[in-house]
Structure 1
Amino acid sequence: MWSVVLLWLSCVPAGLQAAAVYRRDVPHQKVEVYSVTLDCTVTSRFAHTVMTSKALNKANSSQEIFFDVDLPKTAFITNFSMEIDGQLYVGNVKEKEKAKKQYDKAVSSGQTAGLVKASGRKMEKFSVSVNIAALSSVVFTLTYEELLQRKLGHYEILTRVKPQQLVQEFKIVVNIFEPQGLAFVEAEASFLTNDLLLLVDKTVTDKKAHISFTPTLEQQRTCPGCEGSIIDGDFIIKYDVKREKSLGEIQISNGYFVHFFAPPDLPRVPVNVVFVIDRSGSMSGIKMQQTKEALKAIFDDLHEEDHFALIIFDNKIIKWRKYLSKATQQNITAAQSFVKRIKDNGSTDVNSALQEAVKMLKNGHRKNTIPERSTDMIILLTDGNPNSGESSIPVIQKNIQAAIAGNMSLFCLGFGNDVDYSFLDVMARENLGLARRIFEGSDAGLQVQQLQSPLLLPGNLA
């Protein structure tokens, strides 16, 4: 299933024709890509990447030019622009349904639009095309960001490079800064020969690393005199930070701070979690399907010593059970069957549903039906658009913060491109949690995996 995001390029002048972005591998004998550069800066596991490509139409007539980039699913685009003969056009991301309509309108009216499409479990493809006048040039600039996830003992920066032709200026530059210290840094690529391996320049100090790869035009050739490029595949950097027995590392920037910690040999603390599931009419279709996928992914990661409950809501509240149940396989199977039968209906009373979740956790402790030494949390799954009961977002945030009173964590999974993410993000951060978007058309289970450590392993974060 394709996930479509439109990047609308405003103020496109007359004469720029929208391209058929569905065509691929079209030979451009008179279109020269003379520069491809990738500049990535990583600070405390947060990667900021800028990819720039410059192309020239050397023909005496207009030519269609494509810009395709594969980027990690966990990354998010923060900027896209095209500079055509000195004129800058900046893209705006549109929500999915509006994007479809505006994309069709763009094509029919001769304007330029871009698409983001799923292309596997780990990557997505961003594509845009534009007709360039004779002897004119275009500069594409794509900026995306990503919070790196530690898997199999390391962090990974994955860059897929496929210029499909020899490039006058080809450059990959990565700078890493980890205040905690670097344990190791490795660079590899699927296309690296022994000769090209020598071109990877790597400098590593205690806290910083610089990696660059800048092959010349001749070094890119598949053979002497050949026009084909050997640069075709994945360029991967793997690294890890030093993990000493300490209270961790605090990073402070722009008035915010992040605490990284990974205490070794710490026993897991049981979790008491109430899932608050929005089934209102706005959650119909793909949102409800993804909600069920996300719940399955989280259920699979529960431990038997954990306890859980399910609340579904629209303008009314329905409980799976009146109390939290132990996460035995029998109870998990019963909960999954209940989730499969959820149907979208009604309006959205977020405030009452969350208040009820808080009461369930408090009652569980009061009646000693959940372990005394355990961690309490609420996971809200919604598109974040309250329109029933208390609908004022500031009031809801204030009410929930007062009810939780710092005694439990609230995590919010926001579904759909039209989710009111700022509402969920603020409410989660005010209550010792975090929020995450679940994008339409993408693998909800895979996206939730990025949250499973902080959600379900509070006693042993990695």
Structure 2
Amino acid sequence: MCTPKELKSTGNFTMMIDGVLYPGVIKEKEVAQQQYQKAVSRGQTAGLVKASGRKTEKFSVSVNIAAASKVTFELTYEELLKRSFGKYEMFIKVNPKQLVNKFEIDVRIFEPQGISDLEAEGTFISNELLPVVKKSFSGKKGHVSFSPTIDQQRTCDNCTTSLLQGDFIIKYDVNRDSPSNFQMINGYFVHFFAPKNLTHLPKNVAFVIDVSGSMYGRKIAQTREALIKIVEDLKEPDHFNLILFESLVSTWKSSLVQATPENVNEAKQFIETITDKGTTNLHDGLLTGIEMLNRAHQNGTVSARSASLIIMLTDGRPDGNLERIYNTARNTIQGKYPLYNLGFGYDLDYGFLDKLAKENNGLARRIYEDSDSALQLQGFYDEVANPLLTEVTLQYPENAISDVTQNSFKHFYDGSEIVVAGRITDNDVNFITAEVNGHGAFEDLTFSEQADVEETAKALEDQKYIFGDYIERLWAYLTIQQLLEKRATTTGYEKSNLTAKKPWKCL
């Protein structure tokens, strides 16, 4: 029988109610909701955990228990930290809503490459609380702790309200003597790739902006604010243009232009005049941006060694047939550059934006309607502002490796990281070699890395409390994530086939 290996630390939830242990089981959300409601209607003890959130995973627990019962929740959660701007970041949302007798954040970090720097800060940390934040690192280990007393938590002397409300943020990076790092144990490997000291590629950006009537007020003001800062950050070798869509489509220039100081200043003046009106003709707006990039490449007005991308911002549901938009984007981009979709606000078809982006080598991101929306827009742009490589491929020996996760990428950006995992099928293999190829600013680049299977696995044996079968779980996580992304862009038999796939081995 083919069953998944136990993935306890990926999502293990238990409830201890009056001394009785209730273990959690992972279900599809619709099935879980139905089973929970059915149990509640019968008066049975039940619990339901949901995850959501912006920068963090927010877990909410719904329970049905008898009055005066004592309940203890235990949730173990595991995630792959994303590297951006040269740091791994962990966000811990702090909001106990009351004074807590024993409040503690205790973070222990182990990195086989060694930790190069470690920061810890909180949006709610006052000068009085600063000494309570403890951090240290040496070699492969790091430690952060925060344990304020009840008096330190108070908003004022004798107050019962808590200062602890906001984000507690931990940032760190590792030593990088080479562009690559391998971790291997129990027949699985993970390959982290993050080269440094490479020259930035020029970039060509088509900004496709929704200025329909629903962008009225704060949204259009924040869009103008973010766009002005973004064009100010363009470098002179870059090329760009601004495409606005509502019922009609208008452009700042008829083609991409170089980001000279004169053009940047003129673009800022144009952005100041942007107003909202009309409906949401996303199809023609996106098509105009794509064709503008296509013409720039065909005419040779942009460098062959440059990174082209489309950044589209919209807050609504597009007019017209969605399939027409999918087909137009796919047929005109033809896989040449990524499309990044930023969904502004809550009343939008985010599933459409997500599928459209993934079909075209990009991703979608929600921009929340908060006071910092302009910073969110600029923050996303900063992530893709400094491309280092295009057409990146990572190759491994076919006779020793199988079931490799995504190993080709349109762009690699400064401060980020590529993560690839796979299974080691040859038990007698001594070395794993990875060859990474990509187009750089001046020439095509090749990076080769060889890792000793036995030595690499041995280096992790002493850290079983962290690793164990962690790499297998990471491989399963990446595989499932990528299957779900493919499933979201397919229909019919292919979708059913992807749903039926099981990225785990038979036990």
Q: Which residue of 2 aligns with 1:449?
A: 378
Q: Which residue of 2 aligns with 1:243?
A: 176
User: What pairs with 1:24-63 in structure 2 (closer than 5 Å)?
Assistant: none
CA deviations over 1:195-220 (Å, ceiling 9, x no partner): x68xx6989884x7665556788x97
CA deviations over 1:379-403 (Å, ceiling 9, x no partner): 1111141114xx22x4422321221
- Looking at structure 2, the residues matched to 333 and 141 of structure 1 have their Cα atoms a distance apart, in angstroms, of 55
Partner SS for 1:266: coil
Tell me by how many angstroms 1:327 deviates: 0.5
Q: 1:305 to 1:228 in 2, by over 3 A?
A: same
CA deviations over 1:293-318 (Å, ceiling 9, x no partner): 22123212210110111111123221
Among candidates 71, 78, 86, match of residue 58 of structure 2: 78
Tell me by how many angstroms 1:82 deviates: 7.1
Q: Is the contact made by 1:80 and 1:141 (CA closer than 8 Å) also made in structure 2?
A: no
Among candidates 61, 86, 106, match of residue 173 of structure 1: 106
Q: 1:335 to 1:259 in 2, by over 3 A?
A: farther
Tell me by how many angstroms 1:276 deviates: 0.9
Tell me by how many angstroms 1:86 deviates: 5.4
CA deviations over 1:344-371 (Å, ceiling 9, x no partner): 2222121222122111111112222222
Q: Does 1:406 align with 2:335?
A: yes
User: What pairs with 1:355-374 in structure 2 (closer than 5 Å)?
Assistant: 355-374=287-306
- Looking at structure 2, the residues matched to 426 and 250 of structure 1 have their Cα atoms a distance apart, in angstroms, of 32
Partner SS for 2:103: strand
Tell me by how many angstroms 1:273 deviates: 0.9
Q: 1:288 to 1:86 in 2, by over 3 A?
A: farther
Q: Which residue of 1 aligns with 2:265?
A: 333
Q: Is the contact made by 1:163 and 1:232 (CA closer than 8 Å) also made in structure 2?
A: no
Q: What letter corresponds to residue 75 of structure 1 in structure 2?
A: K
Q: Is the contact made by 2:153 and 2:163 (CA closer than 8 Å) also made in structure 1?
A: no
User: What pairs with 1:7-406 in structure 2 (closer than 5 Å)?
Assistant: 75-76=55-56, 78-80=58-60, 150=84, 154-155=87-88, 157=90, 167-174=100-107, 176=109, 182-185=115-118, 191=128, 206=140, 211=144, 237-247=170-180, 261-388=193-320, 391-392=321-322, 394-406=323-335
Tell me by how many angstroms 1:180 deviates: 6.5
- Looking at structure 2, the residues matched to 334 and 258 of structure 1 have their Cα atoms a distance apart, in angstroms, of 47
- Looking at structure 2, the residues matched to 273 and 259 of structure 1 have their Cα atoms a distance apart, in angstroms, of 30
Q: 1:363 to 1:150 in 2, by over 3 A?
A: closer
- Looking at structure 1, the residues matched to 353 and 112 of structure 2 have their Cα atoms a distance apart, in angstroms, of 30
Q: Is the contact made by 1:293 and 1:444 (CA closer than 8 Å) also made in structure 2?
A: no
Q: What letter corresponds to residue 55 of structure 2 in structure 1?
A: A
CA deviations over 1:317-357 (Å, ceiling 9, x no partner): 21211111111121112112222222222221212221221
Q: Which residue of 1 aligns with 2:25?
A: none
- Looking at structure 1, the residues matched to 130 and 233 of structure 2 have their Cα atoms a distance apart, in angstroms, of 41
Is the helix fraction higher in 1 or 2? 2
- Looking at structure 2, the residues matched to 161 and 83 of structure 1 have their Cα atoms a distance apart, in angstroms, of 22
Q: Is the contact made by 1:81 and 1:141 (CA closer than 8 Å) also made in structure 2?
A: no
Tell me by how many angstroms 1:265 deviates: 1.4
Q: Does 1:440 align with 2:372?
A: no
Q: What letter corresponds to residue 373 of structure 2 in structure 1?
A: A
- Looking at structure 1, the residues matched to 232 and 94 of structure 2 have their Cα atoms a distance apart, in angstroms, of 35
Q: Is the contact made by 1:413 and 1:438 (CA closer than 8 Å) also made in structure 2?
A: yes
Q: Which residue of 2 aligns with 1:132?
A: none
Aligned sequence identity (%): 41
- Looking at structure 1, the residues matched to 115 and 364 of structure 2 have their Cα atoms a distance apart, in angstroms, of 29
Question: What RMSD over aligned residues (CA atoms) do the two structures have, in Å?
Answer: 4.5
Q: Is the contact made by 1:415 and 1:439 (CA closer than 8 Å) also made in structure 2?
A: yes
Q: 1:213 to 1:76 in 2, by over 3 A?
A: closer
- Looking at structure 1, the residues matched to 308 and 190 of structure 2 have their Cα atoms a distance apart, in angstroms, of 21
Partner SS for 2:104: strand
Among candidates 352, 356, 364, match of residue 423 of structure 1: 352
Tell me by how many angstroms 1:277 deviates: 1.2
Q: Is the contact made by 1:270 and 1:375 (CA closer than 8 Å) also made in structure 2?
A: yes
Q: Is the contact made by 1:81 and 1:140 (CA closer than 8 Å) also made in structure 2?
A: no
Q: Which residue of 2 aligns with 1:461?
A: 414
Long gaps (5+) in structure 1: 1-72, 88-134, 252-256
Q: What letter corresponds to residue 328 of structure 1 in structure 2?
A: T
Is the strand fraction higher in 1 or 2? 1
Structure 2-normalised TM-score? 0.53
- Looking at structure 1, the residues matched to 183 and 336 of structure 2 have their Cα atoms a distance apart, in angstroms, of 23
Tell me by how many angstroms 1:291 deviates: 1.8
Tell me by how many angstroms 1:243 deviates: 2.5
Structure 1-normalised TM-score? 0.57
Q: Is the contact made by 2:326 and 2:356 (CA closer than 8 Å) also made in structure 1?
A: yes
- Looking at structure 1, the residues matched to 297 and 149 of structure 2 have their Cα atoms a distance apart, in angstroms, of 67
Tell me by how many angstroms 1:372 deviates: 2.3
- Looking at structure 2, the residues matched to 193 and 458 of structure 1 have their Cα atoms a distance apart, in angstroms, of 37
- Looking at structure 1, the residues matched to 336 and 262 of structure 2 have their Cα atoms a distance apart, in angstroms, of 29
Q: 1:284 to 1:140 in 2, by over 3 A?
A: farther
Long gaps (5+) in structure 2: 1-52, 389-412, 416-507
